[in-house]
Amino acid sequence: LCLKVSRIQRFFLTAANLIDVLPNEAIGFEDSQAGITALNSANIFSVGISSKDNLVGADLRVDSFEKINFEQLLCL
C-alpha cells in the first residue's frame, strides 16, 4: 500500500503543479482508500466518493458526485 500511495501522491502533486495550484489549495476526489491516503499525504483536501463509510481519513465524504454542492466546495 505504501508504494501505491507514493505513486498516487506524485500523480496528484504533478497534476496540481501542472495547473499552477498549490496542494493546500487543491481538492481531490477519490473512491479508494489508497487515493484518500495519498491526497492527505500530499496536503490536498480529500473528498471521498463512496456510499459506504469505508474511506477513512477523507476530509469530506459524499455518496456520489451528484451530491456535491459546488458552492459548498468553494467555502472549503
What cell was used for 68?
A: 456535491
Tell me the CATH number at 27.
3.40.50.1000
Q: Mind listing the pLDDT tens digit for each residue in 13-72?
A: 999 999 999 999 999 999 999 999 999 999 999 999 998 878 999 999 999 888 887 887
Sheet holding 45-49, edge to edge: 27-30, 45-49, 60-62
Q: Mind listing the pLDDT tens digit for each residue in 17-32?
A: 999 999 999 999 999 9
- 32: domain range? 2-74
Domain tally for the chain?
1
C-beta atoms surrounding 51 within 10 Å: 11
Distance of CA 56 to the CA centre of its chain: 12
| Structural contact between residues 30 and 54, judged by C-beta atoms closer than 8 angstroms | no
- pTM listed for this prediction: 0.84
Phi, psi of 25 (to 5 degrees): -110, 5
